[in-house]
Amino acid sequence: MSDRLDKGKKSDEGNTDVDACYSCDECGQGFTLPQELEEHESSRH
């Protein structure tokens, strides 16, 4: 009955559990910083 979040997971670009404010229109991946979204869009799409 633990309501703690699992902080032991490896932080990864594909992680969708973060409180993302910016999301990619093409794949829906979320990012916390606008620079991360820009970098993702330019390198992935």
35-44 residues labelled b (16+ CB within 10 A) or e (exposed): ebbeebeeee
Q: Please report which helix (H) or strand (E) contains residue 22, including its range.
A: strand 22-23
Three-state secondary-structure class, residue 17:
coil
What does DSSP assign to residue 36? H
Q: How many domains are contained in the chain?
A: 1
Q: How far apart are CA 28 and CA 35, in angstroms?
A: 16
pLDDT at 36: 96
Using a cut of 0.75, tell me whether the model's pTM lies above it: no
pLDDT at 18: 52
Q: Is residue 24 one of the residues assigned to a domain?
A: yes
Structural domain of residue 29, as residue ranges? 18-45
pLDDT at 17: 53
Three-state secondary-structure class, residue 41:
helix
pLDDT in tens, 1-45: 444 444 444 444 555 555 779 999 999 999 999 999 999 999 998
Q: Is residue 36 one of the residues assigned to a domain?
A: yes
